Structure 1
Amino acid sequence: MSTFSLKMEIADNRHYNGQQSPLFTIDEAEKARAFHQKVEGYQPTPLHSLDCLAKEIGVGKILIKDEAHRFDLCAFKMLGGAYAIARLLCDEFKLDVKDFDFEKLKNDIPEKMTFATATDGNHGRGVAWAANKLGQNAVVYMPKGAADERVNNIRALGAECIVTDMNYDDTVRLAIKTAEENNWKVVQDTAWEGYTEIPTWIMQGYTTMAAEAVDQMKDQQIERPTHVFLQAGVGAMAGGVLGYLCDQYGADKLHSVIVEPDLADCIYRSGISEQGEMVNVEGDLATIMVGLACGEPNPIGWPVLRDCSTQFVSCQDSVAALGMRVLGNPLGDDPRVVSGESGAVGAGMLAAVYYHPEREKLMEKLGLNQDSVVLLVNTEGDTDPVHYREVVWQGKHPTL
């Protein structure tokens, strides 16, 4: 077997205390899931069991929640954007979210509203999708270097899409400023002073996929995962999902690993900070994991990750590329999983550990053994098909 060493900085969380967030509970997740179940075309996304890969790597089970099948959007993000817009409109029109009806509300809104957001691609597509369903307007800002496919997917939903010459975090600031000037509603998946309610709803929307996974594990006669690997950009998805899983199982029963690209590792740097304070990363954030190319932690998600995560990881782009190839070319009877750059990094890390010359040492550090049940989340499919083929077919970002 070939061995190779990819950069993976693994840091134990010195700030862990296991304190559960009251925002991401089983009850809040069920509210969000009840909303999503009423959306036309709703189906739980698959939870695949990669038994051959698990045997090869030396763990008991590898499970992957495959969000490439979420509606026709190829990513999980609409779960947050749509739920937040629904909650926002319920507040605006004095409705209970339990009674939310897309068609009825579409006809009842007297004047078109405009929802604005900044995105690396998938969140903006989710916001544009929800606005389109409600017959409203959406304006989506994207950072420089945005792939044409991601831009076109947003515009195909009737939204205005503006690509800036800035990085993600500066693009967020531009979207906020422009929205304030035009009296638009901001639907952003990070928070700042005075803006916490909508990003909380977005994170609660993400818990639907975790609640589905818990039910699917029960159906597969799996009591619980021992490990969960969650990728982080601002930490909204990771914080919401980890918060829910800790309420479900207990933080002390879950070895949780938060994985980021080394070019945008604000959560990792926050995790190794002296007092557990949030640390920002500046610059172009030019990682292939564009959905994770965020330099400023979400202040709602960070306390969950600080209090409940077991470890933080900063890794090079080749780890994600390896994951894309491993998932797309399965062993034995394992199902094929088409995973984009941000979706594949958890699987890529498992594979990178397997091929590492210090494999046994890394397995021990991560607490992995033949009894481990590892839960991964494929947050996106090939949302940039050109780059997907460059990586999987042409070997871009090689491992050897």
Structure 2
Amino acid sequence: MLIANPHAKRETYPDDLKNIMSIQKANESRAWLSDWSRLNSDGTPLYSLPDLAAELGVADILVKDESERSVLGSFKALGAPIALVRLILRRFPEQCFEARGLLAGEYSAALADFTVISATDGNHGRALAAAAQSVGCRCVIVLHANVSIEREEAIAAYGAEIVRISGNYDESVEEAAALAEKNDWLVVSDTSYDGYEEIPRDVMQGYGTIAAEIIEAAAQRQGSGPAFTHVFLQGGVGGLAAGIASYLWELCGEQRPTFIVVEPEQADCLYQSAIAGKAAKATGSVDSVMAGLACGETSPLAWKFLQPSVDFFMTIQDDEAVSAMRRLAAGSQRDIPLVAGESAVAGLAGLVRVVASNSLSSDLGIDGQSRVLLISTEGATAPGVYAELVGETADSVLSRQKAWSPKA
């Protein structure tokens, strides 16, 4: 399903939004993260996939590969540590902590009794656990029933205490809030709710690093015309989409690209928000193979940015995501093989759906001149699940990737 957003604007980035999230703050976050030992200091690659572009009838497809962001395997490594650092700086102003020093563990003795907690589908919790371990504070992570044992073990490996519940993601969010209140812990969540916006804002601001790297890489390779005309973004609660869209909107103003947000059919909270004209809940089971996007409620803070900037909202089915994973893994003569996890491929699956329909392509203005940007947000964060879905292990794909060289 696809819906055009009647509230989307093409104008200068509004001051009221700039006061919440800005390129300036994104650049500050990027500088703080530049020395964190758990991130790739070179950023992540931006690949062009010319064979896939030819298959889909567009001029170019660019893929930002966040699987190479860090050992944590996903873009979430940019959000949680920045939110934790900014929280500590606000919480203990008298200590005069320095941001880079926090991530280097220089103040671990002073923070040994400080505890943060969060619910997660996997990647945010893993990133928060790693950041807490670096900082030297305690971390508790609440997992719902559909989070795999693989993802639980990956989080626990960074020293986090795991709390399991039998419900879904939204119920795990409620449990984390209840435990925080009971024990005087601090919630570091990537979704906002009434009275809770500072930390989700900081998480989203961290994602601006992705946009900054894309702009820099595109400038180096750009020929005639814009680097990209359309940007397909994952849904979830809306944080990544808001972080990327706000940065590009501020940078490009009225000339911003067309933004399309894609999410699972059964976890359609953003699609439903577009229909309602306000942050809304999903109508389906919220049980999707795209585990990182299996979210039932839109982040109200993210919606402040998405409602005026996203041109189209659409939903896809699980099997479309699996097909997209396999296509990226396969590579081709001119397309490097890529390891893209279940939630990483929503944008590509959405693009494939659109170009298969003349009417949808026309609605979105996608044609042979279009240059499409996709963000592959994670690698094989659950290696067993990845191998089962793709029919090949991530290590095998990576071996082919290392041996690959483009052929004319």
TM-score, with length taken from structure 2? 0.89
SS in 1 for 2:182: helix
Listed one character per residue, the Cα deviations across residues 234-285 of structure 1 (whole Å, up to 9, x for unaligned) are 0011111111111111255311100010101010011022xx1222126641
1:217-250 CA-to-partner distances (Å, cap 9, x unmatched) read 1111254321100011100111111111111112
Is the CA contact (8 Å cut-off) linking 1:82 and 1:126 kept in structure 2? yes
Q: Which residue of 1 aligns with 2:34?
A: 37
Q: How many residues align?
A: 381
More deviation, 102-111/376-385 = 102-111
How far, CA to CA, are the matches of 2:22 and 2:171 in structure 1?
32
**CA shift at 1:110, angstroms?**
5.2
Within the alignment, does 1:17 sit opposite 2:2 as a pair? no
Distance 1:363 1:96, change over 3 A: farther
Q: Which has the higher contact order (CA 8 A, sep 6+)?
A: 1
Conserved in 2, the CA contact under 8 Å of 1:116 and 1:179?
Answer: yes
Other structure's SS at 1:224 match: coil
Equivalent residue number for residue 207 of structure 1: 208
User: What letter corresponds to residue 83 of structure 2 in structure 1?
Assistant: A
CA shift for structure 1 position 102: 2.7
* Residues 144-195 of structure 1 deviation map (CA, whole Å, 9 limit, x = unaligned): 1211110000011111122211111111011011011111111001112221
Equivalent in the alignment of 1:391: 389
214, 218, 230: which one aligns with 1:227: 230
**Contact 1:35-1:97 within 8 A present in 2 as well:** no
Of 253, 256, 260, the residue aligned with 1:253 is 256
Distance in 1 separating the partners of 2:182 and 2:352? 48
1:138 is paired with a residue whose SS is strand
Structure-2 residue corresponding to 1:193? 194
CA pair 111-302 structure 1, distance change in 2 beyond 3 A: same
Query: How far is the alpha carbon of 1:201 from its aligned partner?
Result: 0.5
Question: Structure 1: which amino acid aligns with 2:274?
Answer: G
Q: Does 1:28 align with 2:25?
A: yes
Of stretches 114-123 and 98-107 in structure 1, the one that deviates more from structure 2 is: 98-107
| Amino acid in structure 2 at the alignment position of 1:297 | T
Query: Residue 265 of structure 2 contacts residue 284 of structure 2 at CA under 8 Å; is this kept in 1?
Result: no
Alignment of 1:294-309 (within 5 A): 294-309=295-310
**What's 1:142 paired with?**
143
Q: Deviations over 1:120-161 (max 9, x none)?
A: 000000000001111221110111121111000001111112
Tell me the distance in 2 between the aligned counterparts of 1:349 and 1:190: 23
Write the letter of the residue equivalent to 1:347: L
1:58-137 superposed matches below 5 A: 58-94=57-93, 95=96, 100-103=101-104, 105-107=106-108, 109=110, 111-137=112-138
SS at match of 1:248: helix
- Residue 326 of structure 1 contacts residue 348 of structure 1 at CA under 8 Å; is this kept in 2? no
- Aligned 8 A contact 1:167 1:283 in 2: no
Unaligned 5+ segments in structure 2 are 393-408
Q: Which residue of 1 aligns with 2:172?
A: 171
The one-letter amino acid paired with 2:7 is: H
Q: Deviation string for 1:295-321 (max 9, x for gaps)?
A: 111111102111011100011111211
Contact 1:34 1:98 (8 Å CA) reproduced: no
- Alignment partner, residue 366 of structure 2: 368
Question: Paired residue for 1:342?
Answer: 343
Q: TM-score scaled to structure 1, two decimals?
A: 0.91
Secondary structure at the counterpart of residue 34 of structure 1? helix
What is the alpha-carbon distance in structure 2 between the residues aligned to residue 286 and residue 192 of structure 1?
22
Q: Report the more deviating stretch, 334-343 or 99-108.
A: 99-108
SS for the counterpart of 1:323 is helix
1:300 aligned counterpart, secondary structure:
helix
Higher helix fraction: Structure 1 or Structure 2? 2
Structure 2 CA distance, aligned partners of 1:284 and 1:175?
Answer: 21
**CA–CA distance in structure 1, aligned partners of residues 245 and 139 of structure 2:** 30
- Percent of matched pairs sharing the same residue: 38
Q: Secondary structure at the match of 2:321?
A: helix
Q: Does the 8 Å CA contact 2:49/2:336 hold for their aligned counterparts?
A: yes
Match of 2:396 in 1: none
1:329-383 Cα distance to aligned partner (Å, 9 max, x none): 11222111111111011112223344x3xx3322222211122111111111111
Contact preservation (8 Å) 1:267, 1:297: yes
